[in-house]
Amino acid sequence: MAVERLTAHVSGMIGFPLRLLAREVYDRVAAIKGPAAVALVTGEERIWPPEARYVLGTMEALPIERDVAFVGIDEAQLGADPERGHVFTDRMLRARGRDETMILGSASLTPLIRELVPEAEIVGRPRFSTLSYAGAMKLSRLPKRSAIVAFSAEEVYAIAEMLRRFAGGAAVVMGALSPRTRNAQVAMFEAGEVDYLVATDAIGMGLNLDVRHVAFASLQKFDGRRLRRLTIAEMAQIAGRAGRHQQDGSFGTIGLPQGGMTPEEIAAIEGHHFPPLSSLFWRNPQPRFDTLDGLLADLAQSPAHPALRAAPEAVDLAVLRHLAGDIEVAARGGEPQAVERLWDVCGLPDFEQLGAEHHSRTVLRLWQWRTSGDGMIDPDWFARRLARLDDAEGDIDQLASRIAAVRTLCFIAQRGDWIADAAGWTAQTQALESRLSDALHAALTQRFVDRRLALLIRDAGQRHAALPVAVGADGTVAVDGEALGTLNGFSFKVDPVARASDHRLLLAAADKHLRGELARRAAALAESDGGALALVGDAGAPPRLAWHGQTIATLARGTTLVQPAILLDAALRRLDPPQVQAIAERLQRFVAEQIARHAAPLAAMGAAAGDLFTPPRVRALLAALVDGGGTAPRAAVEDQLAAMTADERPLLRRLGLTIGSLDLFHPQLLKPEAVRWRAALLAAQQGTAMPALPPHGAVLQKGGDEAGLAVAGFRRCASGWLRIDMAEKLARQAHAARMQAATPPSAPVAGGDPHHAAQQEAGEESEGDGEGAAAALPPGFAIDPALATSLGLDEEARRALLQSFGFRPVGDPALQRWRWAGLKRADRRQRRKPEHRKPERKGAPQRQAGEAAKGRPPRPAKKGPRPKPGQEAPRTPRPERAPRRGPSPHSPFAGLAALLAEGRKD
């Protein structure tokens, strides 16, 4: 109503008890009349356009000497306040508008208004809502939209901490907060971000809040002098915050060890019946400045009217009396200008609550500057204090303390007659106050508000579905901007920083909010192309399947190696059954497609091994190959291989198998992706973790996971590991060199299977016939080391590998000559010995290996003396050898012989 009356006049002013209220009304009037027509005047803030016609300010800063049409005095009952009451009384008695003066206050002020301002017209404004007593409650039982009132910072903090733990937190309002911080906290409560407000009695005025219930945590306060019980008027002022307009409110208490409200207090608050004020505080508003003693006497003067009484000593008067004892001040007590300026600087509020003694030190320094030189405060001192306070780090108490100190500087900067460049300093101090206020708001929010928990508690139930849900690119799930956790594929993980007590609530919220998102993902997975799916083969973990990088299933033992079982993750199994079925079918198709693409030979071997039309010996060998993942050492399957007929071996080659000197394998299964899938299938079938596989494209490894190297198709070679197809390449090169050396220059190179030919020539010499040939060439034949070198094999590994092929070094090692020795006879005998053969009788004469194998009579002993050391033994004449049989035209090595022959012609 006061704002309406103000704006109805051509000019006017209203005085408020709080800077916060003055700022709020200033914004409203500026929106109506325009910023150029409205001024704001408080101790710490001053906005005064040249053409301002409307002034809003705190009661102390109100320029009552200004001639305006309308004057309003808000909360006039504060004339009974011991600290500031004399200011309100003075404004009520002396501030007048040309056309209208409005005094707003409690009904308890009515008798005094009639007595002090008899010409005033008293108009009552009844409360539209009902205020009722709700009794004592536990903190956890308080209804939403409640304000809890305490009377110390410690109590406020403790209550806010408890509310954070089980209700998501609370906004905090205290008198020590700056208006900016207080507004930010109130805005958080008004916006519904929190449902509770914890405050001191600062909530009692200047705040229009959507509060439904006010709970008193205490009924006693320290008023600066003593601890006393609240008056009924003070209780009513605070309880009256509950309810708004026509919305009813309630009030009560929580955990009061000293007892609750009395029936008389409850009835008075509910019925708005308060005892009338008997007097107001007064202090001489126009003291003399002739002398310091005269000033003190005027300020101690008693009022003449019986409805007024002398005000208690306020901070400004306490500081003045303290400084009156200072030698310098007393010496200048007869200078009117010095006395006037002393009283002026004593009006600096004690924002930091230091007390009169400590606060007087700052006041004295200011007075010294004001009464010397140009009468201005030292800007260097001001700048140093400002710089010292420019720190937005620290806890709540540290930030609040800095803000209080900055408010002192703001007050000084507003006084153009105190400091030069007042406008510049004002801008700097207000900017710093804003930064510190924002930091304090953030600190309060961080300590006393759990936004996520408050959101989930506030909107529990049916309203959950209406909240906006966002899933970030990194999988972060946020509900109405608050992170709940991370969604990896279909698996939700609670935010790791969340308290353990909140996990159940977060999981329940995620379950509600993510149903639509999970259904969308399930449909996308069921319809996804192969590019979105992948095999995950991390070493040490079971083989898994991933969708867009997130694991969704695990491969397990199936009916066959190439038909693994697919176990969906638990998160997918919670989907609707049709969705689960669609996903399972899609993953089965993906695995089948990948096996057909990368491991088709393995599937073909498995199919042939299970085909009843495949010869048993071939089926047995293929089964061994499939069990090994598509590769097998030749020694392990030599019996099956040797037992095959001439018609059965081609079946292996038709499957693409390479029957090598040392291993059986399919070249396609040694490709990188084929290796990954073979390793995964083997791990799934055997129920083991994935081995560490060698790098893609590697052919020689110095070390590593032996299981992984074996699966990847590597065999040990000296101290390293060589891929088996490269080993076979070296074997074929060696056999080609042997065959070329054994063929006369004029004859075509013999063809055929080098390994098969090697078995026929096992134990035979390959140096050539005749004494002349032996004298012309070194013994044996050379094998070009270039291929081995290109593969990275050192000489030791190369020699070991060639010997494993059946080659032996001969002659001078420097010449690197080789001869073909074949497999050791003992090895061949062991491999070919029938299993049913009985062991030889004990004591039976031992026979040579060759005699046992071929049944030949023993060779005659060599005659003649044994050669001396260093002397070559005479050679025994070799019997005539039967003509060498040419290669079979059906042998695959016949083509090799032809190619070698063409090479010699070129």
pLDDT at 757: 46
Q: What is the DSSP letter of 247?
A: B
Mean pLDDT of all residues belonging to the chain: 84
Which residue type occupies 487? Answer: L
Gap between the Cα atoms of 520 and 616, Å rounded: 51
The residue with tokens 């804003």 is 434
Please report, as a single letter, which amino acid is at residue 617.
R
- CA distance linking residue 789 with residue 87, whole number of Å: 103
**Between residues 126 and 378, the one the model is more confident about:** 378
For the cut 60, the answer to whether the pLDDT of residue 650 exceeds it is yes
Q: Residue 274 — φ and ψ, nearest 5°?
A: -120, 145
| Band of pLDDT at residue 774, cut at 50, 70 and 90 | very low
126 vs 82: which has the higher pLDDT: 82
pLDDT mean over 214-218? 94
What does the chain come to in residues? 906
Q: What is the pLDDT of residues 403-413, one digit of tens each?
A: 999 999 999 99
Query: 636-641 long-range CB contacts below 8 Å, 24 or more apart?
Result: 637/664, 638/831, 639/831
Helical segments of 240-314, H only:
263-271, 292-299
Q: Which residues contact 248 (CB under 8 A, 6 or more apart)?
A: 129, 130, 131, 132
CA angle 550, 555, 561 (to 5 degrees): 145
DSSP character at residue 394: S
Range scoring the smallest mean pLDDT among 511-520, 549-558, 872-881: 872-881
Question: Are 432 and 406 in contact, with CB atoms under 8 Å apart?
Answer: yes
pLDDT, one tens digit per residue, over 413-452 is 999 999 999 999 999 999 999 999 999 999 999 999 887 7
pLDDT tens, 70-116? 999 999 999 999 999 999 999 999 999 999 999 999 889 999 999 99
* Average pLDDT rounded to a whole number, residues 162-191: 89
CB of 617 closer than 8 Å to CB of 648: yes
Which DSSP helix (H) or strand (E) runs through 57? strand 54-58
User: Which tens digits make up the pLDDT trace of 856-897?
Assistant: 555 555 555 555 544 445 555 555 554 555 555 445 454 445
**Cβ atoms 670, 687 nearer than 8 A:** no
Residue 15 has pLDDT above 70, yes or no: yes
Phi, psi of 552 (to 5 degrees): -130, -15
CA distance 875 to 327: 135
Of all residues in the chain, the percent with pLDDT exceeding 90 is 57
Measuring CA to CA, which residue among 29, 38, 41, 34 is closest to residue 2? Answer: 29
Give the bridge partners for 244, in sequence order.
247
| H helices present in 142-258, as ranges | 153-167, 179-190, 232-239
Nearest to 6 by CA among 41, 56, 49, 57: 56
Name which of 724, 731, 728, 729 is nearest 710 in CA terms.
Answer: 724
Closest CA to 412 of 448, 447, 381: 381
The answer to which of 12-16, 179-183, 280-284 has the lowest mean pLDDT is 179-183
Q: What is the predicted pLDDT for the residue at 70?
A: 97
Alpha carbon 48 to its chain's center: 48
In this structure, the number of other CB atoms found within 10 A of the CB of residue 155 comes to 16
User: Is residue 719 within 8 Å of residue 709, measured between CB atoms?
Assistant: no
Q: What is the pLDDT of residue 312?
A: 94
CA angle 390, 396, 397 (to 5 degrees): 85
CB neighbours of residue 153 within 10 Å: 16
Q: Would you state the pLDDT for residue 550?
A: 86
Closest CA to 44 of 61, 66, 59: 61
pLDDT score of 31 more than 80 = yes
Sorted by where each starts, the structural domains of the chain and their CATH numbers stand as 1-127 (3.40.50.300), 131-271 (3.40.50.300), 451-513 (no CATH), 530-690 (no CATH), 726-834 (no CATH)
Q: For residue 608, which of 616, 808, 794 has the smallest C-alpha distance?
A: 616
Task: For residues 698 and 704, give the distance between their C-alpha atoms in angstroms, rounded to a whole number.
Answer: 12
Confidence band (pLDDT; 50, 70, 90) for 854?
Answer: very low
Amino acid at 138: K
Position 414, amino acid? Q
Statement: residue 565 has pLDDT above 90? yes
- d(CA 268, CA 282) in angstroms, rounded, equals 28
**Residue of 237, 236, 219, 217 lying closest to 228 (CA atoms):** 219
pLDDT of residue 64: 93
- Looking at residue 658, its pLDDT comes to 92
pLDDT band at 833 (very low <50, low <70, confident <90, very high): very low
Q: Among the listed ranges 178-192, 629-643, 822-836, which one has the minimum average pLDDT value? A: 822-836
Q: Look at residue 453 and tell me whether its pLDDT is greater than 90.
A: no
216-220, 444-448, 562-566, 849-853: which range is least confident on average? 849-853
Residues 254 and 148: beta-carbon distance below 8 Å: yes
pLDDT at 864: 52
Supply the pLDDT for residue 777: 58
Is the pTM for the entire model greater than 0.85? Answer: no
pLDDT in tens, 46-67: 999 999 999 999 999 999 999 9
Question: d(Cα 364, Cα 236) in Å, to the nearest integer?
Answer: 41
d(CA 167, CA 455): 9
478 vs 759, residue with greater confidence? 478
In the block, residue with structure tokens 């996804």: 528
